[in-house]
Structure 1
């Protein structure tokens, strides 16, 4: 079963993404809300590739229950990304610039979908895309939990994503909140953020495992 981020990235193609400023310079503990908007714009403009660890917490609608998973994220502009979920069970979401691959190793199942214009309304567009203000309306939000926030509302309103909130600590991405049309709220918290001038192209290629059940949609 795909986790909620996968559903968000899938909604990509009905729609994750991929989760963002990974700045290395020292920065104040918080920035103004307008500064967070500028930080997000700078990330999209200047960060060509990068990697981070993440913890994802999914809040079910009308319930106190949560589900926690963790893994690693990589991106390379334009539109190449990899989410490797490691706990509680392995799963991969890989965008190679033309297609998005979803792999469940436990079931040995692969789903592949065309990247499509719908990428513009997903978390992956914030993390690996290039035309953020073409794809999202940006609005500064009040500081919360020691972070400054930007609300990013997809201009394309018929996707799975209702809204995204991007939280910064200074000029560094700290969190991404995803609200979807199913009433779920997913929170990704990033650590060990590192900007790279480039990453090897093979990181964003997906090889179908032997014997895998492949579904193209």
Structure 2
């Protein structure tokens, strides 16, 4: 029996095909993630890495949340209109209009896009060679206003469709962030209400 990964190779499925399939068929998702951020090495020093982990959920369009649990608790929640950032240790909440901050971000690629054509308005999309059993696509923001150089997304072919497996993000300062996803659920039943965020009592709220 040919594995899905092998059949993807033989049928010529590219990362761009996988991205299009993912956007079309995966209207909601849930996964655990691990993120490793590597800062550029300063002269005479080794590069520093920082590892964190948590959970990720999204509901198209424009609703998603990254809940960081280790080593520090932090939440990034988009309710469709507003992006909320909650730093638990500082007891501080920052809110910004989602439309002002979403374009050109990894969340725009994997969680918010309604279709491929909409993505292509903001990104140059290029299929990359398969790597590590995944199909890869690169998204480069068309505007240079943001801090991101490029986003690479890795998909795993399954019998249920294209599964989000990895994100590699390079910013304009040379910092690299690699997110790997596990236990990915395709199209779980998620309520829009679960993406509502209410600042905790006593939190310092900064509206930008």
| TM-score interval (norm. to shorter) | 0.7 to 0.9
Check if 1:28 corresponds to 2:13.
Answer: no
Check if 1:216 corresponds to 2:174.
Answer: no
**1:151-190 equivalences in 2 (<5 Å):** 151-170=138-157, 171-190=162-181
Aligned mate of 1:88, from 68, 71, 87: 71
The answer on whether the counterparts of 1:55 and 1:70 sit within 8 Å (CA) in structure 2 is yes
1:161–1:30 distance in 2 versus 1, CA, 3 Å: farther
Unaligned 5+ segments in structure 2 are none
CA distance in 2, matches of 1:216, 1:197: 32
Determine which structure has greater relative contact order: mean sequence separation of CA pairs < 8 Å that are 6+ residues apart, divided by chain length. 1
Equivalent position of 1:19 in the other structure: none
Aligned length: 192
Unaligned 5+ segments in structure 1 are 1-25
Equivalent position of 1:57 in the other structure: 36
SS of residue in 1 equivalent to 2:4? coil
CA distance in 2, matches of 1:196, 1:30: 23
Deviations 1:105-154 (A, max 9, x none): 11110000111244120011012222222221111112223333111111
Check if 1:127 corresponds to 2:124.
Answer: no
Deviations 1:20-71 (A, max 9, x none): xxxxxx7225844752210101111221111111000001112422100000
CA distance in 2, matches of 1:35, 1:142: 8
Task: Please identify the structure whose Cα radius of gyration is greater.
Answer: 2
TM-score between both structures, scaled by the size of structure 2: 0.86
Deviations 1:144-169 (A, max 9, x none): 23333111111222111110001123
Check if 1:192 corresponds to 2:183.
Answer: yes
CA distance in 2, matches of 1:85, 1:37: 29
| CA-atom RMSD in angstroms | 1.8
Equivalent position of 1:205 in the other structure: 196
CA distance in 2, matches of 1:69, 1:29: 32
TM-score between both structures, scaled by the size of structure 1: 0.82
Aligned mate of 1:116, from 82, 99, 110: 99
